[in-house]
Amino acid sequence: MKAIEKKQNLSDEQIVKIKTLLDRYGRARSRRESWETHWQDCYDYALPQRGSITRSFVPGGRRQQNLYDGTAMDAVDQLAASLLGNLTPPWAQWFGFKPGTDLSDAEAQAIAPLLEKAARTIQAHFDSSNFAVEMHQCFLDLAVGGTATLCFEETEPGSLSAFKFSSVPLSDVVLEEGDNGFLDTSFKELSLTLDQIKNRYPISELPVSILREGEQQPQTTFDVVEMIVPENGSYHHYAILMDEALPTLLSQGHFDSTPTISFRWTKSPGEVYGRSPVMKALPDIKTANKVVELILKNASIAVTGIWQADDDGVLNPANIELVPGAIIPKAIGSQGLKPLEMPGRFDVSELVLGDLRSRIRHALLTDKLGAVTDRRMTATEVLERSAEMAMLLGATYGRLQSELLTPLIMRAFNILKRRGEIPDLLLDGRVVALEYRSPLARAQAQKGIQNTLMWLESVQALGAEGAESVDRKRTAQFLGEALGVPSDLIKRDIPVLETIEEGAHV
């Protein structure tokens, strides 16, 4: 570490900080090693195009030569697409803002149009970016590996969108769980050439040995670790060149909100990384793959057959080709070539395979989140199907809402607020509250809406006295909020006495 101090003129506190971060990264990296073989099995059978956890990644390489059954791969694609459509549907308003609990009705009525405009502005930036593409890749990682990481960066001013996203593979990220239970500490591993290092960290001072090696061999890559560490209410960023002789601090800074968002499918006690539905179905996936392999081998034997021949000096089995119209010579009086009779058997492989595929689809929720194929499905059946889907994904949706959706919207809100594109308001639940309007969130709210409508029907059946007990305005407001109606369309009871100008600080 004295070499770092001499080269970069760092203070003693910074030197100790770099050493502490490197030790912390090493411990987190060693804890992750026990997961790698498990992840590799899951990716090999369910998402082979992304499976490069323990092996070197070769772009365009063949990774499906040992797969014989595609049930898991198809189910994973459907699950990821369903999560994208139910949680963050592209080109649809899947979130919004509403007045917080600390505002009066007059203030809420005044601020509602500004909040709806801010929500539409953020959604427009999402739609103009690569969010849908990278979010889909994250949901694929979530379904297979149980943990996914989305890198949320800000683009240069003047770009079409202020947001830039990238899905970070499990092989490139090391995570730590904070005291709050979230994966708020991340170590991202990068392999960069000298030119890429200079472009990404333009003001950094590089060791002479790195400069010499990079100039002599431009294609040589160097290991860089980018760290996001929560400190004192903000998120500090460090980029360190992992050179054994001279670790170099390339850059450092801080963010108001984390640019690296990690989230899990489900979590076991004492574990940092999440567990996926593919991990649960992995025994059935492996068995189904082996059953199909044996069926194909049996089919090849059934097509070509097993033959026997007498070695009579005329027939040479090495030169025989079993093709239509072939003439096979044999000695006079010999048996020549004849098929070996197979004993009768009862084939149960199709029954076993059908049961395995059904369990795989059920474990990956394909039979619950898939498209509706029955055109005769009634409205009641659709509502029951939505309620069942919300019940099955209730725990998972709650985790995704706290670990993915809330940090995602918070960072987008902070970026555009700093740029002046949305009002300078506090998104803290008291002044401005976050509201989810995704299809899955609405499906979860259906039960409360049904209970309210059932109560209204029961009250109306009581006559005029029962109808007088209903506060129609408050009931309409509740139904509007439960259905995700924009807050500026809901009229409040108290007239607006004062207005809040756009851009004013609350």
| Residues contacting 224, CB < 8 A, separation 6+ | 189, 190, 191, 192, 197, 239, 240, 241, 242, 250
Stretch 279-296: mean pLDDT: 91
Buried-exposed string 414-448: b where 16+ CB fall within 10 A, e elsewhere: bbbbeeeebbebebeeebbbbbbbbbbbbbbbbee
Mean pLDDT over each residue of the chain, to the nearest integer: 81
Q: What is the pLDDT of residues 350-383, one digit of tens each?
A: 778 888 999 999 888 887 654 555 556 666 666 6
Tell me the backbone φ, ψ of residue 187, rounded to 5 degrees.
-125, 115
Report whether pLDDT(141) > 80: yes
72, 360 Cβ separation under 8 angstroms: yes
Q: What is the DSSP string of 346-373?
A: ---HHHHHHHHHHHHHHHTTHHHHSPP-
- Tokens encoding 411: 């960072």
Report whether pLDDT(39) > 50: yes
CA distance 448 to 453: 9
**CB burial of residue 285 (10 Å; 0-12, 13-18, 19+):** buried
| Residues contacting 136, CB < 8 A, separation 6+ | 80, 81, 84
pLDDT of residue 327: 65
Stretch 125-135: mean pLDDT: 94
- Percent pLDDT > 90 in the chain is 28
Report whether pLDDT(102) > 90: no
| Residues contacting 24, CB < 8 A, separation 6+ | 176
DSSP secondary structure code for residue 275 in this structure? B
- The pLDDT confidence band at residue 479, using thresholds 50, 70 and 90, is confident
336, 314 Cβ separation under 8 angstroms: no
- Tokens encoding 19: 């050493």
pLDDT of residue 3: 39
Q: What is the pLDDT of residues 382-416, one digit of tens each?
A: 666 666 666 767 777 778 888 999 999 999 999 99
Q: What is the pLDDT of residues 305-323, one digit of tens each?
A: 666 666 666 667 677 776 6
| Residues contacting 404, CB < 8 A, separation 6+ | 150, 261, 263
CA distance 210 to 223: 11
pLDDT of residue 495: 45
Residue 338 belongs to what H/E stretch?
Answer: strand 337-339
Which of these ranges, 50-54, 258-262, 340-344, 364-368, has the smallest mean pLDDT? 340-344
This prediction has a pTM of: 0.80
CA distance 49 to 217: 30
- The pLDDT confidence band at residue 76, using thresholds 50, 70 and 90, is very high
Helix (H, G, I), strand (E, B) or coil at 429: coil
- The pLDDT confidence band at residue 348, using thresholds 50, 70 and 90, is low
405, 486 Cβ separation under 8 angstroms: no
Q: Cα–Cα–Cα angle for 46, 48, 49, nearest 5°?
A: 130
Stretch 41-66: mean pLDDT: 75
CA distance 33 to 28: 9
